[in-house]
């Protein structure tokens, strides 16, 4: 089953990519002048692309966020025979290689479009050969270096008028919206400022002491950025926002999250939705004492989905400022951790649903809300389904915002942290069931051997534990060091989101499971932040916890602004550099504290709310498989944490392993698996030289179906690998 | 100091990617405790801000101990790890750590991953580092846990 596709030699692919000349500054590089692919042989325009036609025109396939394409040439009978058609390394883009390639490319009528490299360049490739057609590179200098969300991001977006006008849009590291001619990569002069809209204009913070007054953030140093792709429907382009990791904010008065829409042709701003309400707006009063004015974040870092017929857009919103402490923002803090439904054309709110009240668990809305259909008790309902880190799937009527199955406000533990005021209840879906573990239970503690079990219990004894929504605690050197929780980074479903099969009304969600983390609070060094508490462990030196890709950009400064501030605060406070407590570890002999499974895929039937199937996904990690502590034991496949997403086709659910592993019969690497979408049975697998690091896509062109999967990790730098069936099959 | 030992290691036969008990491995005591201490200072100053004081990482920043880290580097050479760090780390100023610093911080990582120290320092030399293989488990003593490969294990929903 696990044959090595042609094109590999042992552990390395033969590089076939043509090297590119030095990066171009502020201009597009056109490598092929004649637009060979804009029209068919008969001279007719291609028109609107779609998955039905074999294209993959959006990050998530179509505006409903399905990640579904009805292609069937690759199926259970031949998946294991897939060969590498071509691959595209991104090493030469930006000043150094990237090792976290998260983009999902687009394909329209024979051309693949995506982002690449540590400067987040945009590229166009020949869909059959991977040949580079054009690249666009914008050197943003310090603005990119200071950006909170770096590397190449999640990809680009496509627009056409259905005739001869085709455009590519994407968001730069420095948070500019760029619009290019899809044929040659040149900026569209008539859009914004020579093809660029500076989206930092309009992003604001509050002004302490001046309620209802707001300050424009600084264009060079102001904190706002985005990995995800713009959503394009008709002539409207919708863009979210995100900030740095929120566990150690330098100020509560951070940039306020927002979602905006522009006209794709004129560049005119159509609407703004303030995720943190401004004074006078609905939701402002859910932040007590006017605290909405001086708190921020609550961005929309996942892409927006759209129901074109209904004219509605669905915004996923993350935590407000300070993921772990909400003392400066008492109240429910709308619209943090919510799904918001707005009018596609005006941005006016239609309804909202808050999944976590007064968020302090880092349980953001992580992924594009999937739009689907359900027939529940004989009644047809248009639904929206949002998975999440806490492994709940929230299923709502997408017209009214009402839950399809009851979601019950349930009393939860209250916080004893000074200044904190937690919500007395939180919403608990009754259906579907949680699809991964949500909190530490004694019966879940690792027990392969009595020794491991005893060691795990000893580790756990240093922490506070409790049921769902147990709050963080102030960290004490003598214990508790913090609250031991499921890891909001690794558990449940994160930015990869799920996929939806319209043929069977099934949502597929990948999940990490069994990963734990510590939510402890410490007072930051004086001068570091105005937040009373931030994430940390007592007795350890204060270190800033950087965010994803923070400082990665090609021109990142040697010392970031935060580090300079922290160093100054630490020096001034005279904090001891020697720790007074040992490092916090939440593992035993290199193994997790909890039993497997560590990675799953669940198929949820939206007509019934029940699971169709749930499987373990990913080979057992080597360190578990080879662990001396488990010598002589038989361990079922455990699955792997961290899988970034899946793809659904006519008959298959396709997902790659998120970690390297070594198995008999194949070299070290990872496998891309195909599962029967009705049963979850594995029907094929093909070897990859590195783990999947971004969500795969599929397209068909010139009679052949391809799958492109982004891989990277460890020693293997970013690579888009395109697979297809052998010729003649 | 013990150049003769390293010459022997350089002469070790066998492809790097084949598991071979006679090939030098990170289990052979290939760094010193003093070197790991130097590496710890480098780590605290340049690495802990993202990878954590406890090497545990966070969100999209990977941990530097544990199964995910060892899986990333299993069967790769020490030179591969040194090269990766030298070229791309720390993220906010890659390529700025002097060569010896990177070698020393790798010694610290090996120590933190419970690999044994020895009497000879890890040399700051790519050709010598390239023959030392990273193994998650000591090669000659590895007894892999039996695996069920025939069918994926079904798992009933856990609530």
Q: Is the pLDDT of residue A18 over 90?
A: no
Q: How far apart are CA A592 and CA A456, in angstroms?
A: 9
Instruction: Quote the pLDDT of residue A689.
Output: 96
pLDDT (mean) for A449-473: 95
Residue B130 lies in a domain: yes
In chain A, which residues have their Cβ closer than 8 Å to the Cβ of B111?
A: none
Interface membership of A433 toward B (CB under 8 Å): yes
What is the 8-class DSSP label of residue B8?
Answer: H
- pLDDT band (50, 70, 90) for residue A51: very high
Interface membership of B44 toward A (CB under 8 Å): yes
Instruction: Quote the pLDDT of residue A543.
Output: 60
Residue B110 lies in a domain: yes
- pLDDT-wise least confident of A277-286, A496-505, A560-569: A560-569
Task: Say whether A549 and B67 touch across the interface (CB within 8 A).
Answer: no
User: Distance of alpha carbon A279 from its chain centroid, rounded?
Assistant: 31
pLDDT for B48-88, tens place per residue?
A: 888 888 888 876 788 898 777 888 898 899 999 999 999 88
Interface membership of A444 toward B (CB under 8 Å): yes
Task: Say whether A587 and B66 touch across the interface (CB within 8 A).
Answer: yes
Q: Give the up-direction half-sphere exposure of residue A249: CA atoms within 13 A in the CB hemisphere.
A: 26
Rounded to a whole number of angstroms, the distance from the CA of A660 to the nearest CA of chain B is 5
CA-nearest of A116, A59, A50 to A87 is A116
pLDDT (mean) for A345-373: 96
Separation in Å, CA A310 to CA A52, A321, A520:
21, 33, 44
Q: Give the up-direction half-sphere exposure of residue A304: CA atoms within 13 A in the CB hemisphere.
A: 31
pLDDT for B20-44, tens place per residue?
A: 556 899 999 999 999 999 999 999 9
Decide if the complex's ipTM is over 0.90.
no
pLDDT (mean) for A214-241: 96
Task: Say whether B91 and A614 touch across the interface (CB within 8 A).
Answer: no
Q: Is the pLDDT of residue A279 over 70?
A: yes
Q: How far apart are CA A545 and CA A322, in angstroms?
A: 13
Pairs across A and B, CB distance < 8 A: 196
Those of residues 45-104 in B touching chain A at CB distance below 8 A are 48-50, 52-56, 58-61, 65-68, 70-76, 80-81, 84, 87-88, 90-96
Of A100, A545, A659, the CB nearest to B71: A659
How would you classify residue A264: left for phi > 0, otherwise alpha for psi between -120 and 50, otherwise beta? alpha
Interface membership of A543 toward B (CB under 8 Å): yes
Task: Say whether B49 and A543 touch across the interface (CB within 8 A).
Answer: yes
Q: Is the pLDDT of residue B10 over 70?
A: no
Closest-CA residue of B relative to A438 is B159
- pLDDT band (50, 70, 90) for residue A13: very low
Q: Is the pLDDT of residue B5 over 60?
A: no
Q: Is the pLDDT of residue B145 over 60?
A: no
pLDDT for A152-174, tens place per residue?
A: 999 999 999 999 999 999 999 99
Q: Is the pLDDT of residue B152 over 50?
A: no
Instruction: Quote the pLDDT of residue A32.
Output: 43
Residue B119 lies in a domain: yes
- pLDDT band (50, 70, 90) for residue A581: low
Instruction: Quote the pLDDT of residue A567.
Output: 62
- pLDDT-wise least confident of A63-67, A163-167, A199-203, A634-638: A634-638
ω into A432 cis (within 30 of 0): yes
pLDDT for A80-104, tens place per residue?
A: 999 999 999 999 999 889 999 999 9
Task: Say whether A633 and B145 touch across the interface (CB within 8 A).
Answer: yes
Task: Say whether B60 and A549 touch across the interface (CB within 8 A).
Answer: yes
Number of domains in chain B: 1
Task: Say whether A616 and B153 touch across the interface (CB within 8 A).
Answer: yes
Interface membership of B41 toward A (CB under 8 Å): no
Interface membership of B159 toward A (CB under 8 Å): yes
Residues in chain A: 729
In chain B, which residues have their Cβ closer than 8 Å to the Cβ of A584?
A: 54, 56
Interface membership of B127 toward A (CB under 8 Å): no
Highest mean pLDDT among A244-253, A566-575, B67-76, B100-109: B100-109
Interface membership of B146 toward A (CB under 8 Å): yes
Rounded to a whole number of angstroms, the distance from the CA of B136 to the nearest CA of chain A is 6
In chain B, which residues have their Cβ closer than 8 Å to the Cβ of A614?
A: 154-157
CATH of the domain at B113: 1.10.760.10
Burial (Cβ within 10 Å: 0-12, 13-18, ≥19) of residue A442: exposed
Dihedral through CA A107, CA A111, CA A113, CA A116, nearest 10? 120
Of A433, A583, A623, the CB nearest to B53: A583
Of A630, A662, A667, the CB nearest to B145: A630
End-to-end C-alpha distance for chain A, whole angstroms: 17
- pLDDT band (50, 70, 90) for residue A621: confident
Q: How far apart are CA A659 and CA A464, in angstroms?
A: 30
In chain A, which residues have their Cβ closer than 8 Å to the Cβ of B139?
A: none
Residue B146 lies in a domain: no
Separation in Å, CA A715 to CA A120, B30, B114:
20, 21, 21
Residues in chain B: 159
pLDDT for A379-423, tens place per residue?
A: 999 999 999 999 999 999 999 999 999 999 999 999 999 999 999
- pLDDT band (50, 70, 90) for residue A21: very low
Q: How far apart are CA A46 and CA A35, in angstroms?
A: 13
Close Cβ partners of A670 (under 8 Å, ≥ 6 residues apart): A656, A657, A658, A659, A660, A661, A687, A688, A689, A690, A691, A692, A711
Residue B94 lies in a domain: yes
Rounded to a whole number of angstroms, the distance from the CA of A200 to the nearest CA of chain B is 22
pLDDT (mean) for A232-236: 97
- pLDDT band (50, 70, 90) for residue A566: low
Of A557, A602, A682, the CB nearest to B92: A557
In chain A, which residues have their Cβ closer than 8 Å to the Cβ of B73?
A: 714-715
Of B67, B80, B143, the CB nearest to A715: B80
CA-nearest of A488, A477, A594 to A539 is A477
Q: How far apart are CA A339 and CA A335, in angstroms?
A: 8
Residue B91 lies in a domain: yes
Task: Say whether A668 and B17 touch across the interface (CB within 8 A).
Answer: yes
User: Distance of alpha carbon A346 from its chain centroid, rounded?
Assistant: 27
**Domain A8-36+44-724 of CATH type 3.30.70.120:** no
Rounded to a whole number of angstroms, the distance from the CA of A103 to the nearest CA of chain B is 15
Q: In chain A, where are the structural domains located?
A: 8-36+44-724
Instruction: Quote the pLDDT of residue B23.
Output: 82
- pLDDT band (50, 70, 90) for residue A691: very high
In chain B, which residues have their Cβ closer than 8 Å to the Cβ of A147?
A: none
Q: Is the pLDDT of residue B133 over 60?
A: yes
Task: Say whether A715 and B94 touch across the interface (CB within 8 A).
Answer: no
Q: Is the pLDDT of residue B154 over 50?
A: no
Q: What DSSP assignment string belongs to A624-641?
A: HHT-GGGTT-EE-----S
In chain B, which residues have their Cβ closer than 8 Å to the Cβ of A632?
A: 143, 145
* Choice between A12 and B53, residue whose per-residue pLDDT is larger: B53
Q: What DSSP assignment string belongs to A141-155?
A: THHHHT-SS-TT-S-
Q: How many helices (H) and strands (E) does chain A have?
A: 4, 45
Radius of gyration of chain B (CA): 17
Interface membership of B158 toward A (CB under 8 Å): yes
Task: Say whether B54 and A682 touch across the interface (CB within 8 A).
Answer: no
Interface membership of A11 toward B (CB under 8 Å): yes
- pLDDT band (50, 70, 90) for residue A548: very low
Contact by Cβ (8 Å): A373, A505:
yes
Q: Is the pLDDT of residue B1 over 60?
A: no
Those of residues 694-713 in A touching chain B at CB distance below 8 A are 713
Q: How far apart are CA A580 and CA A564, in angstroms?
A: 24
Alpha-helix residue ranges (DSSP H) falling in A479-621: 561-573
CA-nearest of A715, A712, A722 to A90 is A712
Q: Is the pLDDT of residue A38 over 80?
A: no
Contact by Cβ (8 Å): A308, A234:
yes
In chain B, which residues have their Cβ closer than 8 Å to the Cβ of A613?
A: 154
* Choice between A565 and A274, residue whose per-residue pLDDT is larger: A274
What is the H or E stretch that residue B81 is in? helix B78-88
Residue B4 lies in a domain: no
Q: E-assigned strands of B12-152?
A: 146-147
Interface membership of A269 toward B (CB under 8 Å): no
Rounded to a whole number of angstroms, the distance from the CA of A347 to the nearest CA of chain B is 31
Share of chain A above pLDDT 90, in %: 76
Q: E-assigned strands of A162-311?
A: 166-171, 176-181, 196-198, 204-206, 214-216, 231-233, 236-239, 258-263, 269-274, 305-307
Q: How many CB atoms lie within 10 A of CB A569?
A: 18
Separation in Å, CA A527 to CA A573, A692, B46, B47:
9, 41, 22, 23
Residue B24 lies in a domain: no
Q: How far apart are CA A129 and CA A230, in angstroms?
A: 27
* Choice between B147 and A321, residue whose per-residue pLDDT is larger: A321
CA-nearest of A223, A216, A197 to A143 is A223
Contact by Cβ (8 Å): A202, A262:
no
Closest-CA residue of A relative to B78 is A715
pLDDT for A158-217, tens place per residue?
A: 999 999 999 999 999 999 999 999 999 999 999 999 999 999 999 999 999 999 999 999
pLDDT (mean) for A462-468: 95
Q: What is residue B129's three-state secondary structure?
A: helix
Instruction: Quote the pLDDT of residue A42.
Output: 56
Q: Is the pLDDT of residue A582 over 70?
A: no
What is the H or E stretch that residue B145 is in? none
Q: Which domain holds residue B127?
A: 29-138
Task: Say whether B67 and A623 touch across the interface (CB within 8 A).
Answer: yes
Instruction: Quote the pLDDT of residue A508.
Output: 98
Interface membership of A661 toward B (CB under 8 Å): yes
């Amino acid at each position: 089953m696990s044959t090595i596709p042609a094109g590999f030699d042992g552990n390395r692919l033969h590089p076939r990519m043509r090297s590119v000349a030095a990066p171009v500054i502020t201009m597009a590089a056109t490598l092929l002048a004649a637009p060979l692919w804009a029209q068919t042989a008969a001279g007719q325009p291609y028109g609107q692309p779609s998955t039905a036609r074999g294209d993959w025109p959006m990050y998530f396939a179509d505006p409903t966020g399905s990640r579904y394409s009805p292609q069937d040439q690759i199926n259970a009978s031949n998946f294991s025979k897939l060969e590498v058609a071509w691959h595209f390394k991104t090493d030469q883009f930006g000043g150094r290689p990237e090792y976290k390639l998260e983009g999902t490319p687009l394909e329209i009528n024979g051309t693949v479009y995506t982002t690449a490299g540590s400067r987040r360049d945009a590229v166009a490739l020949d869909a059959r050969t991977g040949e580079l057609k054009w690249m666009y590179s914008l050197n943003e200098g310090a603005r990119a270096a200071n950006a909170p969300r770096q590397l190449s991001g999640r990809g680009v977006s496509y627009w056409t008028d259905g005739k001869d006008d085709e455009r590519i849009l994407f968001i730069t590291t420095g948070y500019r919206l760029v619009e290019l001619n899809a044929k040659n990569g040149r900026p569209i002069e008539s859009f914004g400022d020579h093809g660029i809209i500076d989206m930092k204009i309009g992003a604001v913070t509050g002004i302490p002491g001046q309620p209802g007054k707001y300050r424009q953030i600084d264009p060079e140093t102001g904190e706002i950025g985005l990995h995800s792709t713009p959503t394009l429907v008709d002539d409207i382009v919708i863009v979210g926002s995100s900030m740095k990791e929120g566990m150690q904010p330098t100020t509560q008065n951070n940039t306020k999250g927002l979602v905006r829409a522009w006209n794709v042709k004129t560049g005119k701003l159509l609407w703004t939705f303030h995720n943190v309400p401004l004074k006078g707006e609905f939701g402002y009063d859910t932040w007590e004492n006017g605290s909405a004015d001086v708190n921020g974040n609550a961005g929309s870092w996942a892409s927006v989905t759209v129901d074109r017929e209904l004219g509605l857009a669905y915004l996923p919103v993350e935590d407000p400022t300070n993921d772990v402490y909400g003392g400066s923002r008492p109240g429910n803090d709308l619209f943090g951790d919510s799904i918001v439904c707005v009018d596609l054309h005006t941005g006016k709110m239609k309804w909202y649903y808050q999944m976590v009240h007064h968020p302090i668990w880092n349980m953001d809305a992580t992924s594009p809300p999937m739009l689907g259909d359900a027939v529940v008790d004989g009644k047809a309902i248009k639904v929206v389904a949002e998975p999440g880190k806490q492994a709940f799937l929230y299923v709502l009527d997408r017209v009214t915002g009402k839950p399809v199955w009851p979601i019950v406000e349930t009393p939860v533990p209250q916080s004893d942290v000074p200044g904190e005021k937690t919500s007395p209840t939180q919403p608990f879906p009754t259906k579907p069931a949680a699809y991964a573990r949500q909190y530490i239970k004694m019966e879940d503690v690792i027990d392969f051997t009595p020794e491991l079990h005893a060691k795990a219990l000893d580790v756990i004894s240093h922490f506070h534990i409790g049921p769902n929504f147990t709050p963080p605690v102030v960290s004490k050197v003598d214990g508790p060091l913090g609250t031991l929780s499921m890891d909001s980074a690794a558990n449940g479903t994160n930015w990869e989101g799920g996929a939806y099969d319209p043929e069977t009304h099934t949502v597929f969600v990948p999940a990490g499971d069994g990963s734990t983390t510590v939510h402890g609070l410490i007072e930051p060094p004086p001068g570091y932040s105005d937040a009373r508490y931030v994430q940390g462990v007592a007795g350890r030196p204060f270190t800033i916890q950087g965010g994803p890709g923070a400082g990665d950009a090609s021109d990142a400064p040697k010392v970031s602004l935060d580090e300079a501030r922290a160093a100054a605060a630490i020096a001034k406070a005279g904090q001891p550099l020697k720790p007074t407590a040992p490092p916090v570890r939440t593992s035993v002999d290199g193994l997790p504290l909890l039993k497997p499974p560590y990675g799953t895929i669940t198929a949820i039937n939206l007509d019934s709310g029940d699971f169709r199937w749930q499987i373990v996904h990913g080979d057992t990690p080597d360190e578990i498989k080879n662990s001396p502590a488990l010598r002589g034991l038989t361990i079922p496949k455990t699955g792997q944490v961290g899988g970034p997403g899946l793809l659904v086709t006519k008959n298959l659910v396709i997902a790659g392993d998120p970690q390297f592993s070594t198995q008999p019969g194949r070299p070290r690497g990872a496998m891309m698996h195909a599962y029967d979408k009705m049963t979850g049975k594995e029907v094929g697998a093909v070897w990859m030289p590195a783990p999947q690091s971004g969500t795969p896509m599929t397209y068909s062109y010139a009679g052949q179906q391809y799958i492109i999967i982004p891989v990277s990790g460890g020693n293997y730098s970013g690579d888009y690998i395109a697979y297809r069936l052998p010729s003649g099959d | 100091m013990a150049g003769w030992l390293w010459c022997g290691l350089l002469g070790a036969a066998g492809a790097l990617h084949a598991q071979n008990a006679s090939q030098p491995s990170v289990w052979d005591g290939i760094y010193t405790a003093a070197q790991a201490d130097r590496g710890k200072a480098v780590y605290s100053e340049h690495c802990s801000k993202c990878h954590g004081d406890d090497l545990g990482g966070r969100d999209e920043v990977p941990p530097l101990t544990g199964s995910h880290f060892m899986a990333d580097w299993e069967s790769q050479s020490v030179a591969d790890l040194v090269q990766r760090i030298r070229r791309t780390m720390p993220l906010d100023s890659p390529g700025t750590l002097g060569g010896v610093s990177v070698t020393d911080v790798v010694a610290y990582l090996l120590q933190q991953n419970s690999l044994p120290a020895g009497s000879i320092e890890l040399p700051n030399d790519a050709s010598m580092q390239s023959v030392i293989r990273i193994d998650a488990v000591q090669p000659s003593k590895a007894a892999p846990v039996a695996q069920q490969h025939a069918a994926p294990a079904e798992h009933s929903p856990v609530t």
